[in-house]
Structure 1
Amino acid sequence: MNDTAPSATEKDYSATLFLPETEFPMRAGLPKREPEWLKRWEDMDIYALQREQAKDRPLFTLHDGPPYANGNIHIGHALNKTLKDMISRSKQMAGFNSAYVPGWDCHGLPIEWKIEEQYRAKGKDKNDVPVVEFRQECRTFAEQWVDVQREEFKRLGILGEWDNPYLTMSFDAEAQIARELMKVSMSGQLYRGSKPVMWSVVERTALAEAEIEYQDHESDTIWVKFPVVPRNIVRDGAEMKADPHRTPEALWTASVVIWTTTPWTIPANRAISFSSRIEYGLYEVTEAPAENWAKVGDKLILADKLAAEVFTKAKVTGFERRAAVAADELASITATHPLRGHADGYAFDVPLLDGEHVTDDAGTGFVHTAPGHGLDDFGIWMESTRLLNERGIDPKIPYCVDDGGFYTKDAPGFEGARVIDDNGKKGDANQRVITALAEHGNIIARGRVKHQYPHSWRSKKPVIFRNTPQWFVYMDKDIEGEAGDTLRARALNAIDATKFYPATGQNRLRAMIADRPDWVLSRQRAWGVPITVFVHRQSGEILRDEAVNHRIAQSFEEEGADAWYQPGAAERYLGADYKVEDYEMVRDVLDVWFDSGSTHSFVLRNKQKWPHLKFPASMYLEGSDQHRGWFHSSLLESCATNGHAPYDSVLTHGFTMDGEGRKMSKSLGNTVAPQDIIKQFGADILRLWVASSDYSEDLRLGKEIIQTTVDSYRKLRNSLRWLLGNLAHFRKDDVVDPKDMPELERLMLHRLAQLDTGVRAAFIEYDYRKVVTLLTNFMNIELSAFYFDVRKDTLYCDPISSIKRRSALTVLDHLFNALTAWLAPILVFTMEECWLERHPEEGSSVHLRQFPDIPQTWLDNELAAKWQLIRAVRRVVTGALEIERREKRIGSSLEAAPKVFLADARYVVALEGQDLAEIAITSAIDVKQDEGPGEAFRLDDVPGVSVMPALAEGKRCARSWKVLPEVGSDLDYPDVSPRDAQALRERAAAGL
C-alpha cells in the first residue's frame, strides 16, 4: 500500500480493506480525560484490588518521606512523587505486593510561623494564647494543607492509600514518637548539655544542619590585637621561682593578631587557637600613616604566610620580621582580652591553644576562640579543660547572647546591644564592639567580606551560633555499657549494609555521619511532640521509669501530645511514686527531624494499620539534600532504638532547574508549576518528562523541554493507535504459533524477548530513562518506521486465510500486551485508556496486570543477524527511491521496480527466499549478484550494495495500488492482482 489515491476511473475498494478501526483518538485530550480515569479508579477502588490480588506475593515497601503540609505542591514534589509511583507500580507489576502509604510532616516551625504571622496581622500576641489553643490552630492549618496536597498528588496519577495516610500529628504517631524518644532516654543516650547550636533569632529556636541553607552574605571583618601578658618569675613567699608558663622576653611587648567576620563574638572570647603546623613570626611596624590604627613600633605575631596581606589590610607601609616564634613559645603565651578596661568583666587571661582546625589559608594564622559561639571553638575549649585548670583559668562558658540576639550581662559594657533584629537585619552589636576595640587601641584594620553564610531555610534570614542548654543524643557513648557499641558505630555499619542509588550516596552519607557532632533534639517552640522527660531538680538526673513512660504514651494515644500541656499533667504522669515539686517537666519540643525519623516505628511496624508494609523498608527515596535530612535522621533514630537502618536501599534524585540550568526561583520568574503543565498538557506528559530524565543529576525543565516531551508522547500514542486499529480485526482463531510464522514475525518476537530482558533489568535498577529509551527507539524505529511500514499491505489487503496476515496480527497482539504493560508505570492514564479500548469490560484495568512472561525461546540471534543484513539492503533501496521521489520521477515507492546489485555474498545468502520488494515496499525488485554500475546509488556504511532505480511494469492494482504484470489475469476481478482477487472472494464468502 502507498498513500496515492485511486484515479477517477478505478473502482474504490477501500471498503474491502482491513483498514485500522479504533475510537482511540489521535489527539489525547489528557487534561480533560485524565480526571475520568481517576474517577474510575476511585469507584473501583483499584488500590484495594491490587492489595487483594497481591496478598500472597513478597512485599516491596517504598516508605514515603513526608512532605511538609504548608502549601501547594511544587515541581520538586511532582518529580519526587512521580518517581515513587513509578517504582511502586513497576514493582507491583513485577510480581510484588508493592503498597504505597503516603504521609505528611505536620509539626514544626513553618506552620507555627504561619499562625504567628496571622496573629501579628490581627494584633495578637502568641504568648497571650493558651498553648493548647495555639497548637490546635497549628493542627487545623496542617489538616487543610494535607487535604489540598492530597488532591494535587492524586491528580499526578499517584496511586496509594490516600484514605489512610500517615500524619506525624495523628495521636498514635505522636504517642509512638514519644515512645521512641523515651527508648533513647532509657538506654542512657539522651542528655542535657550546653553547646553552640545554630540559632534563628527571627524564629527564636535552635536549628539543625538540615534546616540551614548557605547564601551570600556581607559581613564586617576586623583584625584585633591581643596584647601578650609578660610573665617571667613568680614569688612564692620569699622564694623566687621560674614560671612554667613564662613569656619569652622578646614577646613581652607584642600582640597576637586575630581576624574575624563576627566582631560581635569578641566579648565572648576566652582563648586564641594556633597551629603547631604553621610557621609564625614576630613582626614590627616600621612605617605607617600617623592616623593609622597600626602604629610604628607595634610588634605583632602573625603567620609568616599571611603577614604581608595583614599589613596591606592595616595600611602599613613598612614592616620587618624580627624573629621566628616557635609553637612551644606560643603555647607558653597568655594574652589579655582586647576589651580589658572597657568594663568590669574582661580582666581575665586569654590562653593560646594548639588546635587542629587552624589553617593559614586566610586571616592571620590565629583563630579568635569564643567557645559559646562556634563548634570548633567549643571543642578545643572543652578538650583543654585540664590545661585551663592548671593555669587557674575558669573553664565556664558565658552566655553572652540571649534568644532574641541581645547581649546579656555576660557581655559587660554591651548589654542590650543586638546582633540581629526580628527582621533578620544586622543590629548595633558589631559597631559597638568595633568602637570599643578602637578606643582601647586593639584594632588594626577593618573591612567587609562577601561569603557563604548560614541562613534558616524557612525565614531565609541569617542565623548565629549560640551556646544554649539543649537536649542531645550521644554519638560516641557506649550504648547500655557495650564497648564500642555507639550510635556512630551503629550508623556507619548500617550505611555499609545499605544499597545506594546512585552509589555515590553511600560515601556522602558516611562522611556526614563520621564527622557529625552529638544530635541536637530540642527546639524552643510550641508546635511539636514535647521532649517527654522529667529531670530531678537537685541532681539533674533524668527520671527513667517505664511506668511513667507508659502513662505518658497512653495519654498521647487518647488525647494527642496536647496532653503534656494540660493542667495537672505532671501529677498524672509521675503518679504517687514521685513528688511533683522534685521534678522539672521539660517544655522543649522535639526537632521535626526526629518526628520524621521515627516514621518507621509508627508506619512500617504498624501491622494493625498497614499489614502490607514491612520493616526495614525496601527503599527510602528523596532528593539528594536528604542525605543530611530524612535519610540521616531516620538512620540515627532507628540505629538508636533498633540497632540498624530502617531501609535496605536509598535512592536519591537531583533538583529541578530551568531550561538553562538555573535554579528555579520566583525572583527570576523561571518557576514551572506542575499544576500549569497538567492543565495545558496533562499529567502523563509530566510523568514522561520525569521518566525520560536522568534523575540522578539535576533535571532541567522549560518550554522547549516540555515540547520535546509532547512530541515524543505523540509518536508513542500514534504507534499505539495504529496497533489498536489493526487489532480490531484480530480474532482468537487468527493466533499463529511462532514456529509457523514468517521470518519477519519471528524477528519481531525475538526483539520482544530481547526487550523483555532489557526493560526488566532497567526497572530493577530504577533506570526509567533507559526504559523510555528502549521502548521509544523500538516503537519509533523498529515498529513504525520498519515493521508496521512493511506489514501495512499484508494487514490491509491479504485474504482472511493468509498465514502471513494472521501471523502479523498475532505479533501485534503480543506487542500490544507487552508495550501497554511496560509503559503502564510511566504513562498511567494513556495505558489505561489504551487497555480499555480493547478490554472495556467492568473491572478491567492495565494496572491490575503484571508484566507479561515473554518466552525466551523466541530469542533467535542467528535470525536477527540475518535480518540485520536484509535491513541494510533495504536502507540502500529506500535511499535510492527517496531521491527518485524528491526529483518527482515517482510518486510513491510502489511505482518503482529497482535493480539491486549485491557484491557481497553475505547479502545474497541473507536474501534467499525473501520477497525484497515487499520488504522495501516496491512493486517489484530485480536482485543480481554483481558490483553494479558506477552510477548506481550507494551508502558508505553499506559496502557491497548498490541500486539502480527503475519503474515498475504492468497495471496498477485498484485495491493495493501495486503495479504488477499479473493485474487483470483474474477474469472475475480484472482490475486487481490475483492476491487481491482471492481476498475479495474470501470476504464475499464470509459475508463481509
Structure 2
Amino acid sequence: MSESKPQDLYRETVFLPTTSFPMRGNLPRREPEILAGWESEKLDDRLFEQARGRDVFMLHDGPPYANGHLHIGHALNKILKDVINRAHRMSGYGIHYVPGWDCHGLPIEWKIEEEYRKRGQDKDSVPVLQFRAECRAYAQKWLDIQAAEFRRLGVQAEWANRYATMDFSSEAAIAGEIGKFLLNGLLYRGLRPVMWSPVEKTALAEAEIEYRDHESTAIHVAFPFVTDPTPAKALQDVAAVIWTTTPWTIPANRAIAYGPDITYAVVRVDGVGDNATLEPEARVLVAEDLIAPFCEAADITAHHVLYTLPGSALEGAICAHPLRGEGYDFDVPLLPGAHVTTEAGTGLVHTAPAHGEDDFNLGRAYGLEITEMVLGDGRYADWVPLFAGGHVFKAAEPVCQALLEAMQRAVAAGTAPCGLVARAVLVHSYPHSWRSRAPIIYRATPQWFISMDGEGHLRERALTALEKVTFVPAQSRNRLTSMVAGRPDWCISRQRAWGVPIAVFVEKRTGEVLRDAAVMERIVTAFRAEGADAWYSSPAARFLGEGRNPDDYEQVFDIVDVWFESGSTHAFVLGHGDMPFPADLYLEGSDQHRGWFQSSLLESVGTRGVAPYKALVTNGFVLDEQGRKMSKSLGNVIAPQDVNDSLGADILRLWVMNSDTNDDLRIGKEILKQQGELYRRLRNTLRWLLGALDGFTEAERVPFGELPELERWVLHRMSELGSLVARAVETHEWVGVYPALHGFCAADLSAFYFDVRKDTIYCDGASSLKRRAARTVLDQLHRCLCAWLAPVLVFTAEEAWLARPGNAESIHLQPFPELPTQWHDPELGDRWAMLRAVRRVITTEIETARRDGMVKSSLQAALDLPLSEAEAARFDGVDWAELTIVSQADVSIIAGAGSIYLGEDGAQEGVPHGIPTINVATGHKCARCWKVLEEVGQDKAHPELCLRCVDVVRDGA
C-alpha cells in the first residue's frame, strides 16, 4: 500500500470548486434543448403577461422578404434587434416585438414564372387568381421556414402574432393608406420617365437598383443648325455636337441643352486621322473648355477656333435631327439647362424627354413632345422609323450605322456635318435591377405617383419631421435627409400581378381619378374580408356603388410598389392595443435610408403628419474576412444555419455584439474561431463563479461597510459596467459594451481578482470574514453577469443562471440588478488602477525569475519591494504578498527617492529607486495552501501546515 503524500491528507479540507455547469458548452446540441424547454414552459406567454401594465418600448420590425433561407445579414439585424428588446425588457419596459414579413412583389412572381417556364407554360395564360394563389403559397412556405430559423437564433418575439403584408388585414390597411393619398390629393397619374426593367417589364424604385460596371457605346453626334439667331449668322454651316452613352435614345431626341454661362467655340477642322468621320473645313460647335478631349475623340489632328460666343447667344437656335429625311423631320431647339456642365462630353447635352429626369423636366418646361417609343419589354414600337421592333440594348449598332450614313450623305453633299462624329466603348457604373442583375432604362410611361412638392408639401413636412428623430450613428442623419431632399415624386405603381392593387378608378371621359371616400371604404371592407383578390374577382359595380355606370370608369390593376407596402406596416402594427405609435425605434441596414426608412417616413407623414419612429439605428453590411462582398462564386458565404450547427447561435450573437455594427462587419472561419475563444473565457468565468459559490447561503453575506477594499473595488467596477449597459439601453448605442464586459471578465476577474482570491476562497475557513466577503461579491457577480449577458448569450446565460441552486425561473424573466449608488467609488477605482500597474511590474519580475529557473511558481517567491515615501503612504495597508500571489513580501521605504510607479502626479524630487527584487522564499511549503512560510512545522499535530491552515483544519475537525 503506497504512502499518501502530505497534500493528499488535507485535500478534503480545501474548498475546491464544485458545479454542474460544464466546461464545454456543446451549444449545437444544448441550444435546441433549451428552446424546447422554453416552448414547454410557455416562456413567450409569460413574457407577454409580464409586459402588462409596463411602459412599452416599441421596436417595429422591418419586414424581411419571404423568398429563401436567412442569410448572415438577416441574422445580424435580427440579433441586434433582439439584444435591444431583451435589454429593454430587463430594464423594466414592456416589450411587444411583432416580427413581420414582406410577401408581395417581383422576386416571388419571378420564382413562380420560372416554374412556368420550366413546364413550357405561358404565365399570361394562367388566370390571375390562380397565379396569385401560387405566389401566396410560395411566400407562406418561406415565411414559416424563416420564422423557424429566426427562433433558432434565439430571437424572442410574438411569433403567433406575426404580421405579413399578404394577410387580408394587411392588404386592407395598405389599400386604405393608398386611399388616404388619393383623398388628400397627393396621388396622381402622370407620364414621366421612371427606372424601368425591360426584363421584368415593370417600373423599379431606387431601392431596387444596384450599380454595376457596364460596357456602353459612347457616341458624338452632329446636329446641323438650321436657324441661327446670332446677328452675324455665325452658326451657318455649323453643327452642334452632343455626346451620349445611350445611342438608343437618339430616335427620341427632341432638343439640345446648353449652359447659358458656358463659353462655346466654333471649331474649324484643319486635319483629321484615319478614324475621323469629319472632313477638313467642317465646322462644329462645342464648349471651349472641352475642345481638346473632343478633338481627341473625333480623331481631329489639327483645328482652329474661328470664334467664341456665350451660351446665352444660343437662345432661339434650332438644329435638325441628324436622321432627317429618315422619318425624323422635326426641329431640335437649343434650350438653356441648369444641369449642363463642362465636366465631360461637349457642353451640349442630347435631350430625350422620355428617357431622363433632367430631359423630362426641361421638355415639360418648354412644351416638348414626350414620345412613348419604347415598349415594356425594351423593344421600339412598330411606328418608330428605321428601328421598329428592335431591342434598345441591341440598338447601338443600327443607330450608329444610320448616323454614319447620315454623315456620309452630308459630306457628299458638302453641307454642314450631320450624323456620327465619333464612337467609342465606355465601361462605367450603370444602374441594374438587383433582382435580375440586368441593366435598366429610363422610360416615360403613365404611372401613379405621390407628389413630393406642390399643395401637399410632403417633402418639406418629411424633412421637418426628421428634425425630431434621433439617428444612431448620428452621421446617418445627413444621408436620409439628403435623399429626401433630392428625390423626385414617388412612383408607386408596378405593372405586375402579385401585390396589393392601386385600387382606384379613373373616369374615361375626363381622365380624372375618382376621389370618393365611400368607394374607398367599400374597397377596404372587401379586402379585409377576402383579401386583395376581391379586386380581381368582383365586378367594378361592387365598389362604385349605385348611381355610377362601370362602363364609364377604368379600373386600375397596377399593383403598388412593395416599398409603399412595407412603408405602410406602421398602419397595421402600431397604434393598436398595446402597440404605441410612433415606434420608439426602427433598426435596419444602411441601405434602408433609400428603402424602408424613407418609404415609412413619406407614407406616415403623408397620412398622419408625423414620422412613424422616434429613433433610427443603422447597421452596416457583412463582408468576408478580406473585406469582400459575400458571393457563392467566391465561396465566402457564411450561412447562419451552418454556424448554428457547428458552433452554436450564441457564438453568432457574440460576434454581432463584439463588432462595430455602425460600420460594415467582417466574418469568416478565423473570426468565428476568435469569437469561440472569447466565448470560452466568458463561459469559464461563469463556471468558476458557480464553482466557488457552491453552498453559499444568505447567512454568509457580508454588509457593504465590512467588505475589504478589494471587494469594494470589484463592486465599483460592476457599477461602471451597470452604467454602461444602462446608457446603451437609453441611447441604443451598443458598440463597445460587450467587448468591455468581456474585458472585465478576462482582465479584471479571471486574470486578477479570481487569481488573488483563490487562496482565500479555497483555503480560508468557512467563517473567515475575507472568504465570506469574497463569496458575497461572487454572488453579486453571478447575478449581474448572468443578467448582463442574457440579451446576447441567451442560451448560455440561461444555463448558468439555472445551474445555481434556488434559481427556478428563467433569467429572461429577471430584471437587470439595481446596483447601490454606494458601490460607485471613482477614487477607489483610481487607487486600484495604480496598484494593478505596480502589480504588473512585479509579476513581470516574477515571470523573469520563473523563466530563469529561480522559482517554479510565484508561491515559491519572496518579494522585496522598494517604495518612495509618497508611494508607501499611497499604498498603505496593501498586502503585497496576497496581491502578487507570493509567499512573502517585504517593503523598503527609501527616503527622498523618486517614483517609478506613480508617474508625474505622485513623483517626488530625488533619485529614482530600484525595481522590485524577487528571491526564493525561505521556510517550508504548506501541504494545504502551498505557501512557503517559516511558520510551517510549528504545530506538532499538523507539522505540514501553516498556522492559518492548522486553524481551519482544527475547526473543521
Q: Into which bin does the TM-score normalised by the smaller protein fall?
A: over 0.9
Match of 2:357 in 1: 375
Output the CA distance in 1 between the equivalents of 2:168 and 2:568.
Answer: 14
Do 1:186 and 1:544's aligned partners in 2 also have CA atoms closer than 8 Å? yes
The CA deviation at 1:15 is 1.5
Output the CA distance in 2 between the equivalents of 1:905 and 1:169.
Answer: 78
Match of 2:485 in 1: 514
Question: Quick one: which amino acid aligns to residue 445 of structure 2?
Answer: T
Is 1:779 paired with 2:749?
Answer: no
Do 2:275 and 2:299's aligned partners in 1 also have CA atoms closer than 8 Å? no
Q: Pick from 53, 56, 60 the counterpart of residue 59 of structure 1.
A: 56
Is 1:566 paired with 2:548?
Answer: no
Output the CA distance in 1 between the equivalents of 2:232 and 2:152.
Answer: 76
Is 1:286 paired with 2:270?
Answer: yes
Question: Quick one: which amino acid aligns to residue 505 of structure 1?
Answer: S
The CA deviation at 1:528 is 0.3
Distance 1:656 1:840, change over 3 A: farther
Match of 1:459 in 2: 436
Output the CA distance in 2 between the equivalents of 1:165 and 1:508.
Answer: 31
Distance 1:784 1:458, change over 3 A: same
Is 1:580 paired with 2:550?
Answer: yes
Match of 1:3 in 2: none
Match of 2:94 in 1: 97
The CA deviation at 1:753 is 1.6
Output the CA distance in 2 between the equivalents of 1:876 and 1:440.
Answer: 87
Is 1:975 paired with 2:940?
Answer: no
Q: Pick from 401, 421, 429 the counterpart of residue 444 of structure 1.
A: 421
Distance 1:199 1:440, change over 3 A: same
Which consecutive unaligned segments of at least 5 residues does structure 2 have?
A: 408-418
The CA deviation at 1:11 is 4.3
Do 1:495 and 1:510's aligned partners in 2 also have CA atoms closer than 8 Å? yes
Number of residue pairs the alignment of both structures matches: 938
Output the CA distance in 1 between the equivalents of 2:95 and 2:359.
Answer: 49
Do 1:869 and 1:910's aligned partners in 2 also have CA atoms closer than 8 Å? no
Query: Structure 1 stretch 954-963 or stretch 639-648: which is displaced more?
Result: 954-963
Match of 1:836 in 2: 802
Output the CA distance in 1 between the equivalents of 2:554 and 2:600.
Answer: 29
Which residues in structure 2 correspond to 1:74-223 (within 5 Å)? 74-223=71-220
The CA deviation at 1:288 is 2.0
Question: Quick one: which amino acid aligns to residue 170 of structure 1?
Answer: D
Match of 1:864 in 2: 829
Match of 1:416 in 2: 389
Is 1:798 paired with 2:764?
Answer: yes
Output the CA distance in 2 between the equivalents of 1:751 and 1:307.
Answer: 70
Distance 1:597 1:290, change over 3 A: closer
Do 1:222 and 1:446's aligned partners in 2 also have CA atoms closer than 8 Å? yes
Is 1:951 paired with 2:933?
Answer: no
Do 2:472 and 2:733's aligned partners in 1 also have CA atoms closer than 8 Å? no
Match of 1:360, SS state, is coil
The CA deviation at 1:875 is 2.4
Output the CA distance in 2 between the equivalents of 1:262 and 1:841.
Answer: 71
Q: Pick from 324, 342, 359 the counterpart of residue 341 of structure 2.
A: 359
Match of 1:143, SS state, is helix
The CA deviation at 1:896 is 1.6
Do 2:6 and 2:927's aligned partners in 1 also have CA atoms closer than 8 Å? no
Match of 2:817 in 1: 852
1:105-159: CA deviation from partner (whole Å, max 9, x where unpaired): 0000000000001000001111111000000000000000001111111111111
Match of 1:252 in 2: 236
Output the CA distance in 1 between the equivalents of 2:817 and 2:161.
Answer: 31
Distance 1:938 1:627, change over 3 A: closer
The CA deviation at 1:974 is 2.7
Do 1:931 and 1:946's aligned partners in 2 also have CA atoms closer than 8 Å? no
Do 1:175 and 1:561's aligned partners in 2 also have CA atoms closer than 8 Å? yes
Match of 1:435 in 2: 401
Output the CA distance in 2 between the equivalents of 1:413 and 1:224.
Answer: 17
Distance 1:410 1:326, change over 3 A: farther
Is 1:600 paired with 2:600?
Answer: no
The CA deviation at 1:7 is 8.5
Is 1:403 paired with 2:376?
Answer: yes
Is 1:45 paired with 2:34?
Answer: no
Do 1:895 and 1:952's aligned partners in 2 also have CA atoms closer than 8 Å? yes
So what's the TM-score if we normalise by structure 1? 0.92
Is 1:742 paired with 2:726?
Answer: no
Output the CA distance in 2 between the equivalents of 1:986 and 1:727.
Answer: 21
Output the CA distance in 2 between the equivalents of 1:189 and 1:466.
Answer: 22
Which residues in structure 2 correspond to 1:658-807 (within 5 Å)? 658-807=624-773
Q: Pick from 926, 930, 938 the counterpart of residue 961 of structure 1.
A: 930
Q: Pick from 258, 264, 267 the counterpart of residue 251 of structure 2.
A: 267
Distance 1:247 1:113, change over 3 A: farther
Distance 1:652 1:291, change over 3 A: closer
Distance 1:952 1:131, change over 3 A: same
Which consecutive unaligned segments of at least 5 residues does structure 1 have?
A: 1-5, 232-244, 386-394, 420-425, 480-485
Do 2:261 and 2:312's aligned partners in 1 also have CA atoms closer than 8 Å? no
Output the CA distance in 1 between the equivalents of 2:370 and 2:654.
Answer: 57
Which residues in structure 2 correspond to 1:798-817 (within 5 Å)? 798-817=764-783
Match of 2:943, SS state, is coil
Match of 2:415 in 1: none
Output the CA distance in 2 between the equivalents of 1:696 and 1:872.
Answer: 33
Match of 1:391 in 2: none
The CA deviation at 1:323 is 0.7
Which residues in structure 2 correspond to 1:26-45 (within 5 Å)? 26-45=23-42
1:366-396: CA deviation from partner (whole Å, max 9, x where unpaired): 11000000001001111223xxxxxxxxx33
Match of 1:909, SS state, is helix
Match of 2:619 in 1: 653
Match of 1:390 in 2: none
The CA deviation at 1:647 is 0.4
Output the CA distance in 2 between the equivalents of 1:949 and 1:216.
Answer: 67
Overall identity of the aligned pairs, in %: 51
Match of 2:881 in 1: 917
Is 1:276 paired with 2:276?
Answer: no
1:506-557: CA deviation from partner (whole Å, max 9, x where unpaired): 1111111111111101000000000010110001111122221111111111
Distance 1:101 1:863, change over 3 A: same
The CA deviation at 1:642 is 0.3
Distance 1:868 1:909, change over 3 A: farther
Do 1:342 and 1:436's aligned partners in 2 also have CA atoms closer than 8 Å? no
Do 1:869 and 1:907's aligned partners in 2 also have CA atoms closer than 8 Å? no
Match of 2:301 in 1: 317
After superposition, the CA RMSD in angstroms is: 2.0
Match of 1:541, SS state, is coil
Output the CA distance in 2 between the equivalents of 1:839 and 1:356.
Answer: 76
1:634-691: CA deviation from partner (whole Å, max 9, x where unpaired): 0010011001110001011110111111111122221111111111111111111110
1:393-413: CA deviation from partner (whole Å, max 9, x where unpaired): xx3311110001111145222
Question: Quick one: which amino acid aligns to residue 300 of structure 2?
Answer: V
Question: Quick one: which amino acid aligns to residue 588 of structure 2?
Answer: E
The CA deviation at 1:865 is 3.3
Output the CA distance in 1 between the equivalents of 2:807 and 2:76.
Answer: 33
The CA deviation at 1:604 is 0.8
The CA deviation at 1:937 is 12
The CA deviation at 1:461 is 0.4
The CA deviation at 1:982 is 1.8
The CA deviation at 1:25 is 1.1
Match of 2:445 in 1: 468
Q: Pick from 848, 852, 859 the counterpart of residue 883 of structure 1.
A: 848
